[in-house]
Amino acid sequence: MSEAQEFRHILVIEDRKGRRIISLEENNYTLGRDSNNPIVIYDYQVSRTHATLVKKEDNQGCAYRIVDGDLQGKRSTNGILINGHSTLSHELKHGDAIRFANEAKANYYIVATESGIDLFNPDDLGNLNARSTLTSPTTQTMISKQEEKVENPQDQEELIRLASFPELSPHPIIEVDWDGNITYLNPAASIKFENIYEEKLNHPILADLLVESNNRQGNLFLREVKIGAEVFEQYVHYLSEKKLIRSYIFDFTKRKQAEAQLRESEARYRAILRQTSEGIILAYAHNKKIIEVNGAYAKMIGYTPEEIGEMTLYNLIASDLQLFNQDLARIAERKQDTIAKYIHRCKDGTFLNLECNISLISYQNRDIFSIVVKNVAEATNNINSSSYYHFHDSLTHLANKSLFTKQLDISLSYAKRYQHFMGLIVVEINGLDGFKKVRGEEETNKFITNFAQTFESCLRTVDLAARWDENKFIALFSRIRGPRDPAKIAKRMSMVFDQYIQQQKGNTDLDVNIAMVVYPLDGDTGEKLIKSVMVSLQHSKNNLPNNAGWSGFKISPKTASLLRLENLIGSAIQEKQFYLCYQPQLNLADNHLVGMEALLRWNHPELGKVTPQHFLRLAEETDFMLPLGVWILQTATAQMKQWLDAGLSFAPVTVNISSRQFSQDTFVDLVATQNLSGNLRNDEMKRLSSFPELSPHPIIEIDFKGRITYMNPSAKLSFPDLSDDEEAENLNHPLMMDIALPKDNTHSQLVLREISSDERHFQQYVHYLSKYNVIRSYIFDITERKNSEAKLQYQAFHDSLTGIGNRDYFYWQLNNRLRDIKEKDENLAVLFIDIDRFKNINDTLNHSTGDKLLESFSYRLLSCLSSECVFSRWGGDEFILLVSVSKNSSTNSVNEVVQIIMDSLKHPFLIDNYTIYVTCSVGVAMYPRDGETQEQLIKNADIALSRAKQMGKNNSQYYTTQLSEEQMLLFELETSLYDAIAQDQLYLNYQPQLNLGTNKIESAEALLRWKHPTLGAISPGKFIPLAEETGLIISIGEWVLKTACIQAKKWIESGYDFKTIAVNISVKQFRQENFVEVVKNVLEAVDLHPKYLELEVTESILMQDGGKTALIINELSQLGVKFSLDDFGTGYSSLSYLKKFPFHTIKIDQSFIRDLTVNQQDRALIDAVITLGRGYNMQVVAEGVETEAQLNLLQKFNCDIIQGRWLSMPLSEADFIRLVDNFNLVHHHKKMSDNTDPWS
């Protein structure tokens, strides 16, 4: 079979579009950004034709050579890196790493066609390196050399040295044959998996290993195995020629526990965040942006959590911000918590003085401020609540008996589950009644309160203090190593209380008794422990002897005995009071001896035989377990050797090993040393020596002078630049650098570190073996994992759509520039950029086209900006730019940058067959003139951007303090507008409309007004746009509609000849889903006939979704509601609107009335509109009539209705009625005399 049939050449490409697998089959490929390339690289830093792959074939097979640029000699802009080195041409080898640009790279692999890897399955990609390492022709040759070396070792010394690798390995190694028989366990495996011989293939480590499809030479896979609470990473290596399967196992329990604890902590934190009554705020340290708040804090200040989420700490804190910033800076610098009071701004405009406990913590690798907020005044009021005193003592505020017994039961359940000791201490004050008679109740309460504080100060922070009854205090020690811990505390209490009582006695008799008990010696339930400690307390009062020898307090006999054992156990090891006895293990089926179990015993010269469960428990909790374990192993091994020398033969002696012993690498080393110094058979030595030789992972050994004494074949293959030649210079290699020699004669020490070399990343276990004067390194390739982490880091600081920096990246860069700016003769400019009318483009075309426009927009701006600029996407269609400028010409430099941006947009974007022209608005803030902090500069640039939009867009504006004042005023207005309806600050005025045909006031236009309690009358031009922007126009508009209809109803019922009340309708109001229902409900609630209501709409409403607009207008018109077209003549004034929609009235804008008497064109236009209205059977209303000359002309043109100052300004309800009454009276007199002045 040819090489091409056996192996496939694979290119794994990673770029901005993700990860792709390409199987190389053709002779030539070009790679680059241009879409015409067979292999496209999606990255704007890649050249159009960046590289070329050329296939090369010979007798040994085929390979690919990569060439920079094309075959005509044109090179790429950025070049290519192979394994970290720049090159113009390179013959690719298995595992080569290729980099085209920062975020565009590839890996080249040669894999066997039968390797079982699904190249198009992402789940298989993670194992591509490991599973294909031993499948290339070069590696197949290496395997043969490895096996040859193993079969023909140079000498016995070399054999023993190689055999020591698995024996001395700190990680378990297991070998099984193809029948499932265990052929080897190294000492670490024997200790870790003591039941594996009994369970065999049922053991989780060996389960599912005998899979036929895996039995190919060199096949290696990685899996995760769970055994109870422990988690292991298992590398399984198949050696088909030897018919063996070897497993290299690493305990990842602690890492998994840490991950689980992190998730658990996160969940617990979330629960606390939701449930706690105290307010909690999380905010980024660098920009003070709120990350999250809980409901309790939101409730305190009246906002919703979502509203606060859009703020910074500066929006919440109303105290002196300079002092507040100084506090935060001090916390960040010293990493110390601070408790202080700050004034918080509430939504309703009031303020709260709240206590804040501020900490700096790490959250998702970012520094954040965690702030716990208390309403101290409220807490003081609540301290008298019955719920608090249900679990706390009213005088001392310690836990009471009820809370203590509950906590005791909880702690007991944990102590039983995890086999911990637990202690109780009771303190009783004697003579308190006499003290009270002499000193009085107030002094006694003060004494008890101070005593409680002294009692609590003697305890650890994790202990629970409680007041048991009138004169007893009790403490719970939830986790202790033995009786010594609470005994020391009790002894200290005895001394402290003696001094304290002496100071307080005076002419009274006060005394203190202390008693202590320990779980499980004195009881296994809370009830038994409390009973036991009270009995000990009674013994203390009766002056019974103290078995422990401690003065000042009493402990139970069992606890005293255990305490004494703890003191004696150390000397017992030195004086050889321990011994082993051996219990035979029989096979009941044939009564055959299968082994012996070594059991530890202690014979004390005074106490006699000590119960094992007592002293073993103490040894486990103290530091004596390791020396005991070493002694057991040495003694059992020596005894077994004696029996073997005497000709006895039976299964090995079983030694019980505790988890504390196994955690010590020295213990594993001892086991291995016993094996290697014994009489192992030569074939056993040969088999052990094959472990490092055939290991798929690099193993390197150096002596204490830094010379390489051994490299296994995998190490030579992976690191060809290392050599085991004595003359070789290896100390500068990353694997060799910074390996420190042991400072003492440590028998075994293991250090884990991570290193990088040629864009590859490794985890290196450095194993110091001082006894052999060598240092061994076990090396694992973690490049994929590191690349994934780097990718996550990249994603955290880059926008997923455009690939440029995101908001966090900009904050980080701006913070760095601000920190360094003082050392440079420069200023900074922050430019906020917004694409004009982007929403219209996005909605009119589609979101996919909008996304492509954002992408192209960012590329175009990036291409025309200096590399020193920081350009990021802020969000949506907003971008932000940071520019360094000279102090002498800062404004000119910024103007040049703005002009470059504007000029770059003069050319259209060609996207999805659409030609799209865009402009942008720019707001500029300068450092230090417009701010010296990130927050100030960004905020002020945003304010300047708002002004640029207000100025018609497609322009730039610089920040000024006047803009800030205007912005603040708008902010205050917006805040006040929320309460304007509820506080009756809004009202309606009515502008009368005169029917020129009847000369009567028959209708009116309702106009919204706002009188602010402090700012006075607010112009509708200011607050109505705010209402539109915030959405308040919906509720305000409904209020206006209902109020106007109620007023019209009153006038009609009062007998006035009233035809219509006109109400202006906004675009957002008209577009609400239930607008028709709102109008119907108002008319029904007021009981007003629809014919009296006229709704004024503008041309902007008609231009949006004409079909839906027609349905709404038609439905309400059929009901009887009239519609008028407002501001006619100011927009497109399409005549099709008059034909399409059933309008009752056309309103001529006042701009045409203003120059009516002097402008012939205005007169012609008005005459035409009136004629048009009559043709469509519509009434025509002229707005803004101010003079009698204007009125006369309109009468001449046969205008139907007028309104304006000539008739009246908008009036209140009462003034409107007075005007109507007066006008009717004047009109009556005018009939009798045409010379009467109507306003005299």
Cis amide bond preceding 520, omega within 30: yes
Confidence of residue 1093 (pLDDT cuts 50, 70, 90): very high
Q: Measured between alpha carbons, how far is residue 73 from residues 49, 67, 70, 82 in Å?
A: 11, 9, 6, 19
The span from the CA of 1094 to the CA of 1083, in Å, is 12
What is the C-alpha to C-alpha distance for residues 1067 and 1075, in angstroms, rounded to an integer? 11
Select the more confidently predicted residue: 587 or 700.
Answer: 700
Considering the chain, what percentage of its residues have pLDDT values greater than 90? 18
Backbone angles phi, psi at 840, to 5 degrees: -65, -40
| Continuous segment of H or E residues that includes residue 620 | helix 612-621
Indicate whether 119 pLDDT > 50: no
Comparison of pLDDT for 1189 and 783, the residue scoring more: 1189
Q: Residue 956 in contact with residue 900, Cβ under 8 Å?
A: no
Contact between 739 and 731 (Cβ < 8 Å): no
Confidence of residue 857 (pLDDT cuts 50, 70, 90): very high
* Contact between residue 1043 and residue 1050 where contact means Cβ atoms under 8 Å apart: no
Mean pLDDT computed over 1076-1099: 93
Instruction: Name the 3-class secondary structure at 331.
Output: helix
User: Do the Cβ atoms of 882 and 947 come closer than 8 Å?
Assistant: no
Identify which has the larger pLDDT, 655 or 577. Answer: 577
Confidence at residue 560, expressed as pLDDT on a 0 to 100 scale = 60
Instruction: Give the pLDDT score at 992.
Output: 95
Task: Provide mean pLDDT across the span 232-242.
Answer: 82
Whether the pLDDT of residue 391 is over 50: the answer is yes
- Give 544-567 pLDDT, tens digit per residue: 433 333 334 555 565 565 566 666
Q: Which comes out higher in pLDDT, residue 134 or 857? A: 857
- Please count the other Cβ atoms lying within 10 Å of the Cβ belonging to residue 392: 18
Q: Is residue 1121 helix, strand or coil?
A: coil
Per-residue pLDDT band at 696 (split at 50, 70, 90): confident
DSSP 548-582: T--SS-EE-HHHHHHHHHHHHHHHHHHTT-EEEEE
Residue written as tokens 């999805």?
912
Q: Does 669 have pLDDT greater than 70? A: no
Is 12 a residue whose pLDDT tops 60? Answer: yes
State yes or no: pLDDT of 826 exceeds 90. Answer: no
pLDDT of residue 384: 43
The residue with greater pLDDT, 107 or 162, is 107
Task: Dig out the tokens for 104 from the structure.
Answer: 């565009």
**What is the average pLDDT across 1071-1100?**
92
Q: Is 1037 helix (H, G, I), strand (E, B) or coil?
A: helix
Q: Using CA atoms, how far apart are residues 991 and 977, in angstroms rounded to an integer?
A: 24
The pLDDT assigned to 649 comes to 57
For the segment 1171-1212, what is each residue's pLDDT rounded down to a tens digit? 888 888 999 999 999 999 999 999 999 999 999 999 999 999
Average pLDDT over residues 78-102: 84
Query: How far is it, in rounded angstroms, from Cα 448 to Cα 817?
Result: 59
258 or 1089, greater pLDDT: 1089
pLDDT at 330 over 70: yes
Q: Which domains does the chain have, with CATH numbers?
A: 3-132 (2.60.200.20), 256-382 (3.30.450.20), 389-554 (3.30.70.270), 576-663 (3.20.20.450), 697-782 (3.30.450.20), 798-959 (3.30.70.270), 973-1228 (3.20.20.450)
Q: Would you give the distance in Å from CA 333 to the centre of its chain?
A: 23
Q: Please tell me the distance from the alpha carbon of residue 112 to that of residue 62, in angstroms, as a whole number.
A: 14
- pLDDT band for position 134 (50/70/90)? very low
Q: How far is CA 887 from CA 820, 828, 893, 901, 1236, in A?
A: 15, 9, 10, 22, 74
pLDDT at 607: 67
Residue 765: its H or E element: strand 760-769
**990 and 1210 Cβ atoms separated by less than 8 Å:** yes
Backbone angles phi, psi at 1159, to 5 degrees: -115, 110
pLDDT tens sequence across 152-203? 444 556 666 666 778 778 789 998 888 888 888 887 888 788 788 888 888 9
Tens of pLDDT, residues 867-902: 889 999 998 899 999 999 888 777 888 999 999 999
The reported pLDDT for the residue numbered 253 is: 80
- What pLDDT is attached to residue 1172? 87
The letter for the amino acid at 507 is N
Average pLDDT, the chain: 78
